[in-house]
A and B are shown apart, each in its own frame.
Chain A
Amino acid sequence: MEMKKNTRSWQKHMEQVVYGIFLLLGLITIGCVLLITVYLVISGIPAIRQIGLVEFLFGDTWKPTAAEPSYGILPFILTSVYGTAGAIVLGVPIGFFTAVYLAKMAPRKIKLVVEQAVSMLAGIPSVVYGLVGMMVLVPGIRELFDLSDGACLLAAIVVLAVMILPSIIKMSVTALEAVPKEYEDASLALGATPEETWFRVSVPAAKSGIAAAVVLGVGRAIGEAMAVMMVSGNVANMPGLFESVRFLTTAVASEMGYASGLQRQALFSVALVLFVFIMLINAALNYFLKGDRKS
């Protein structure tokens, strides 16, 4: 009797210990997010303080190693924004029409093959995109537009457009396939053609899912570093389509290896700015996904 009681209480203790362990593991994602946020804020703030927020965000010259150093990251911000916008303008229409085709029109076999191909596209490492961009796209742009160097914003935009295609296609297909068949039947029964039905009923019904797909693409594009570093020329110019440019991501990636002092701290601040962009995109994504769930 006594022994039984002992095992019972031992068991109870163990259950509590196990519960504690799982609770800790459960909280680990929150811990990681806090860790990343805190580290970025703590290491990103000092340089901004020293340089001045306005000077840092809106200064148009980045010359950290000059005799009179200046730390304006407007070129990086604008390059990231233009580059992402360009990739969206180029990639979204292609991804969108492919998604509608796959979700609504494609015969089963074609659908399977193309979806497999799209997953492949998603699995290709970004350095491989960068390599192909370096060897094919950059010389191609140089020849086509008669430039001295083809490594420019345009090359980065094309590479990013290809890289965001899979996320846009996959997420849009999911959203389009979730549209209730009843909507489409109603439209057909009113004498609309299948094409009219897809574009005037199915697409509007899936609009928040498709918007989320686009936002996801924005997130991917703005966060990509290695591929664009290999094709964009990596000079801190104000962005122009044929200008050699540097993104927020590539600024960090290219200088972190050797930077020190205020320059290094300023790079942390650049990362902080990038992080803020990503958090805003995340909030937008959440908004669109929630909207879908509600309706």
Chain B
Amino acid sequence: MTSKKRTAFRWTVRLLMWTATALTAALVVALVVYVMAKGVPHITWELLSTETSYLYDRKGILPNILNTIYIILAALVLVIPLGVGAAVYLTEYAKNKRLVAAIEYAAEILSGIPSIIYGLVGMLVFSEFLGLGSSLLAGALTLVIMNLPTIMRSTQESLKTVPQSYREGAFGLGAGKWRTIRTVVLPGCVDGVITGCILSVGRILGESAALLFTAGTANNLNGLFEAMTAPGSTLTVALYYYAKEEGEFEVAFAIAAILMVLSLLINLAATWVTRHFQRRKAL
């Protein structure tokens, strides 16, 4: 009797585990295949290389591609020094344990705040209070706050692996604190910064709610510097508008397929980079 019960338990949980895992895996495969099948046929050279024009009845996502690249660049340029600086402070300078805990807790809170709230505060602070209006710069600044914890934490992780003896060696040669940090500590955190950047690029690429009211929804073709002060929509925001407001599902799926491929690549890059750095550390 008991042994029957035990066998039943064994097979029930096995079945549940197999079903759940199969379901998860099938979900991923189905999503990828569906989006690719619906999207890839509509990715044409014209779509990629032009801007949307009602005059010529043409759909083009070049401005959105460029906006996405611009906003990623702008956000990274701003967030890297801030995030790395914060990490350096935490690992090299901070002595007060309470302050460190407070800073780390603040970073945790930041990574838990939903993007729609970032969008709202970004709009209030950057677009309205600082008068940047609806612009890529306002969007990029919003993304800077969102991605600060990511960069900070991955830099911190890699700084922790810089051997204490390196620092002692530099101090021993009479180098000041700043010189030690510049010459010994910072070069050691490059891998953490790169990992953090990859994660951030992934997050920015997929972000939409935070950009809706900060970067705006325009589809004009701009150069890097004009774009910063002009409104412009990224690929995700464009996808939303084409699908929800205009019912242009072919363009929407084409963008979705592009985003899917990019996020796949970013995933692979993240895995590869982590593995690569781990191997190098092990040597």
Q: Which residues of A contact B19 (CB under 8 A)?
A: 97
One of B56-64, B69-77, B164-172, B235-243 at the interface? B235-243
Identify B93's interface contact among A23, A136, A165, CB under 8 A: A23
Tell me, yes or no, whether B202 is within 8 Å of chain A by CB.
Answer: yes
Q: Which residues of B contact A125 (CB under 8 A)?
A: 205-208, 236, 239, 259, 263
Tell me, yes or no, whether B190 is within 8 Å of chain A by CB.
Answer: no
Tell me, yes or no, whether B152 is within 8 Å of chain A by CB.
Answer: yes
Assess whether B120 is in contact with A256, with CB atoms less than 8 Å apart.
yes
Q: Which residues of A contact B94 (CB under 8 A)?
A: 26
Interface residues of A in 81-127 (CB under 8 A from B): 93-98, 100-102, 105-106, 113-114, 116-121, 123-127
Q: How far is the CB of B102 from chain A (nearest CB, A)?
A: 6
Question: In the assembly, what is the distance between CA of A249 and CA of B106, in Å?
Answer: 22
Assess whether B10 is in contact with A195, with CB atoms less than 8 Å apart.
yes
One of A46-54, A61-69, A221-229 at the interface? A221-229
A256 (CB) vs chain B CBs: closest residue: B213
Assess whether B115 is in contact with A225, with CB atoms less than 8 Å apart.
yes
Question: In the assembly, what is the distance between CA of A286 and CA of B29, in Å?
Answer: 34
Given contacts A195-B9, A222-B114, A282-B108, contact A114 B24 (CB under 8 A): yes
Q: Which residues of A contact B253 (CB under 8 A)?
A: 131
Given contacts A25-B89, A39-B125, A123-B266, contact A131 B252 (CB under 8 A): yes
Q: How far is the CB of A104 from chain B (nearest CB, A)?
A: 9
Chain B interface, >50% SS class:
helix
Identify A252's interface contact among B24, B116, B125, CB under 8 A: B116
Assess whether B121 is in contact with A118, with CB atoms less than 8 Å apart.
no
Tell me, yes or no, whether A275 is within 8 Å of chain B by CB.
Answer: yes
Assess whether A94 is in contact with B24, with CB atoms less than 8 Å apart.
yes
Interface residues of B in 1-22 (CB under 8 A from A): 6, 9-10, 13-14, 16-21
Given contacts A21-B85, A229-B244, contact A124 B103 (CB under 8 A): no
Question: In the assembly, what is the distance between CA of A252 and CA of B105, in Å?
Answer: 27
Given contacts A26-B85, A249-B116, A274-B117, contact A114 B21 (CB under 8 A): yes
Contact with A along B26-48 (1 / 0, CB 8 A): 01110110110010000000000
Interface residues of B in 225-258 (CB under 8 A from A): 236-237, 239-240, 243-244, 249, 252-253, 256
A21, A26, A193, A219 interface centre (most CB from chain B within 10 Å): A26
Total A-B Cβ pairs within 8 A: 250
Question: In the assembly, what is the distance between CA of A127 and CA of B207, in Å?
Answer: 9
A26 (CB) vs chain B CBs: closest residue: B89
Given contacts A29-B103, A130-B240, A131-B243, contact A36 B117 (CB under 8 A): yes
Tell me, yes or no, whether B124 is within 8 Å of chain A by CB.
Answer: yes
Total contacting residues, chain B, CB less than 8 A: 87
> Which of the four size classes fits the interface of chain A?
35 or more
Q: Which residues of B contact A35 (CB under 8 A)?
A: 121, 125
Tell me, yes or no, whether B110 is within 8 Å of chain A by CB.
Answer: yes
Q: How far is the CB of B138 from chain A (nearest CB, A)?
A: 14
A17 (CB) vs chain B CBs: closest residue: B178
Assess whether A19 is in contact with B202, with CB atoms less than 8 Å apart.
no
Identify A132's interface contact among B18, B29, B35, B177, CB under 8 A: B35
Interface residues of A in 5-51 (CB under 8 A from B): 11, 14-15, 18-19, 21-23, 25-30, 32-33, 35-36, 39-40, 43
Tell me, yes or no, whether B113 is within 8 Å of chain A by CB.
Answer: yes
Q: Which residues of A contact B21 (CB under 8 A)?
A: 97-98, 101-102, 106, 114
Chain A residues packing against B (C-beta within 8 Å): 11, 14-15, 18-19, 21-23, 25-30, 32-33, 35-36, 39-40, 43, 93-98, 100-102, 105-106, 113-114, 116-121, 123-128, 130-132, 134-136, 162, 165, 169, 193, 195-196, 198-199, 219, 222-226, 229-230, 249, 252-253, 256-257, 268, 271, 274-275, 278-279, 281-282, 285-286
Instruction: Using A25-B88, A28-B82, A123-B266 as known contacts, list a sample of 19 further A-B pairs with CB atoms less than 8 Å apart, ordered by residue number in A.
Output: A18-B178, A19-B177, A21-B85, A22-B85, A25-B86, A29-B148, A95-B20, A101-B17, A116-B271, A119-B267, A123-B263, A124-B259, A125-B259, A127-B236, A127-B239, A219-B112, A223-B116, A226-B236, A281-B112
